[in-house]
Amino acid sequence: MTPNSSGATSPAIVWHRQDLRLADHSALHRVLHLDQPFLPIFVWDEAQIPIGAAPRWWLAASLRALQQRYRARGVELLVLRGDSLTVLDRLVRQLGASRLLYHRCYEPQACALEAAIESRAPSWNVTVEAYDDRFLLLPEQVRRQRPEPYRIFTSFWQACWRHRRDIANPLADPHCLPIAALPSALSLEHMKLDPLVEASPLQEAPFQEEPWMPGEDGAHQRLTQFLCDSLAQYPMRRDRPSIDGTSRLSPHLHFGEITPRQVWHAVLPEEASGPWARASRGALAFLRQLGWREFALHTLTICPQMGEHPMRTVYDRIPWLNDAAMLMRWQEGRTGYPLVDAGMRQLRRTGWLPNRVRMVTASFLVKHLLIDWRQGAQWFLQMLVDADLANNALGWQWVTGYGFDAVPAFRIFNPVRQSMLHDPDGTYIRRWVPELASLPAPQIHEPWTCAMDTGKTSPTRRHGAYPSPCVDLAMARERALYTYAQVVSRSRIRQGP
């Protein structure tokens, strides 16, 4: 440790980003090892934080939870507003900080910021230490001697499983932290730093129908509840949207309130981590989904523009219809297809969607309506509390056929068949599309047919309560297949023999 100009020990700055926790936190663990006073900060930088109201609400609530955990240990989390590089520059210089510690993020704008910090560090006379806690296994750990990154999930997951014993054990929750207060001669006003009001710009939870609990405590409560109530039945229940059969850990993982290795070791403790057969079917199925999250993050490191461009470039030339009225009907849950509408309404009212419904709604927008997948992906990033660039982009590129290991582009989810298969009794639809609550199954999946079957007024006609289908499924399917085939054919002609 080195003294600053006032003779006091130079503090370290721990810069929180997508790591809003205290346990299993490499930067905090390093500070404890050094026994160095530190100042934890978060910068509310509009260029770095989520764009949508839903993830911004979660972020604000998670910051409040992190502040409470710090205060319980006698430490104050400093939350500042402004450009990250400017804020860090002023803090490091004014405090005479000797270290800046943070965890890496992998979104393009975050990588650009980290590169700028690395180049600025010599002029700050500060040691920069960056950590990787977002992965189960680093890309180099998975690839080992393989020169190329994995583009097929099954091969990637098999490699992860082979190296599973390299997944580090979680670090302990620090109960005692070395404190660094702002020097008495300095103030935020003196340093021209703008504190973010503790209450944050978003006070009230916008999702009254979903009992979300952002923060580290909420993450571990959610994990414990899932392990006790749902893990054993996970393979059978995860595709049933009417059942709370999934972990719903995705927002907690995105904001770093819990780490993937904490989840891994909770699901598959050491004594059960031998051959595949020794782990339960539920545990293996769930860990495979955690593997998809890992695959998305690894893919982002090699395809940083995956949120903007198809990984299969041939599909960058699709002549989208981009009908604004159709896009709005999809966003508002008024397409006339009950499963799609139930999903889009649930998204608005809870900030979340089951994965099966994400796939169906995405396929419908891109294949049946021929609307650019990027418009749908952007809507999800605005509306989902778990808005994660890597997961969101991989999901959209998978279902539309553009990404690594994606379904074939000619595969088109039929929303009626998907509804009958995964919500056979219509429970999910009745909850989110109450206009159809009185319809029995199977009519609830095709409400436009009930008048023909019963001679009664269809709910699509009664007081305009539920809209008629916005597009004919058979026609739209053929249109999509033709459009995709033409794009591929033209690409082959351009490439030549």
**Per-residue pLDDT band at 213 (split at 50, 70, 90):** very high
3-state secondary structure of 437: coil
At residue 490, the pLDDT reads 76
pLDDT of 275 > 60? The answer is no
Q: CA 190 → CA 3, 193, 469, distances in Å?
A: 21, 8, 61
Task: Give per-residue pLDDT as tens, 412-432.
Answer: 999 999 999 999 999 999 999
Q: Please tell me the predicted confidence (pLDDT) of residue 364.
A: 98
Q: Which residue has the tokens 């604004």?
A: 324
Q: Is 295 exposed, middle or buried (0-12, 13-18, 19+ CB in 10 A)?
A: buried
Dihedral pair phi/psi, residue 129, rounded to 5°: -125, 120
Question: How far is it, in rounded angstroms, from Cα 103 to Cα 344?
Answer: 34
What distance in Å separates the CA atoms of residue 160 and residue 411, rounded to the nearest whole number?
Answer: 28
Assign 291 a pLDDT band (cuts: 50, 70, 90): very high
| CA 276 from centroid of its chain's CA atoms | 28
CA distance 99 to 14: 8
Q: What is the DSSP letter of 3?
A: B
Residue 371: which pLDDT band, with cuts at 50, 70 and 90? very high
Helix (H) or strand (E) holding 38: strand 38-44
Q: Which residues pair with 195 in a beta bridge?
A: 80
pLDDT at 380: 98
Which of 151-155, 356-360, 385-389, 391-395 bottoms out in mean pLDDT, i.e. has the lowest? Answer: 151-155
Dist CA 204 CA 439 (whole Å): 35
CB of 423 within 8 A of CB of 339? yes
Residue 303 predicted with pLDDT over 70: yes
Structure confidence by residue, pLDDT tens digits, 324-345: 999 999 999 999 999 999 999 9
- Average confidence score pLDDT of the chain: 88
- Quote the pLDDT of residue 132: 95
What percent of the chain is modeled with pLDDT above 90?
71
- Residues shown for the chain: 497
pLDDT value of residue 489: 81
Give the DSSP H/E element, type plus range, for residue 103: strand 99-103
Cβ atoms 16, 79 nearer than 8 A:
no
Higher pLDDT, 301 or 204: 301
**Contact call for residues 57 and 382 (beta carbons, < 8 A):** no
Q: What is the pLDDT of residue 277?
A: 44
Distances in Å between the Cα of 240 and the Cα atoms of 293, 298, 392, 416 are 20, 29, 21, 15
pLDDT at residue number 204: 55
The 10s digit of each residue's pLDDT in 189-211 is 655 566 665 544 444 556 767 78
Mean pLDDT for the stretch of residues 389-394 = 96
Distance CA 431, CA 408 (A): 32
Q: Is 195 helix (H, G, I), strand (E, B) or coil?
A: strand
The confidence band for 86, taking pLDDT boundaries of 50, 70 and 90, is very high
DSSP state of 100: E
From the centroid of its chain, how far is CA 357?
A: 16
Q: How far out from the chain centre does Cα 97 lie?
A: 33
Q: What is the pLDDT of residue 7?
A: 39
Cβ neighbors of 133 (< 8 A, separation 6 or more) are: 19, 24, 25, 26, 103, 256, 259, 261
In terms of DSSP bridges, do strands 38-44 and 78-81 run parallel, antiparallel, or are they unpaired? parallel
One DSSP character per residue, 360-389 reads HHHHIIIIIS---HHHHHHHHHHH-TT--H
Higher pLDDT, residue 410 or 91? 91
- Range name among 201-205, 468-472, 491-495 with the lowest pLDDT average: 201-205
pTM: 0.91
Q: Which pLDDT does position 370 carry in this prediction?
A: 98
Residue 402 pLDDT level (bands cut at 50, 70, 90) = confident
Alpha-carbon distance 259 to 257, whole Å?
A: 7
Domains of the chain: 1-133 (3.40.50.620), 135-173+216-302 (1.25.40.80), 313-495 (1.10.579.10)
Residues 6+ apart with CB under 8 A from 330: 340, 344, 361, 364, 365, 369, 371, 376
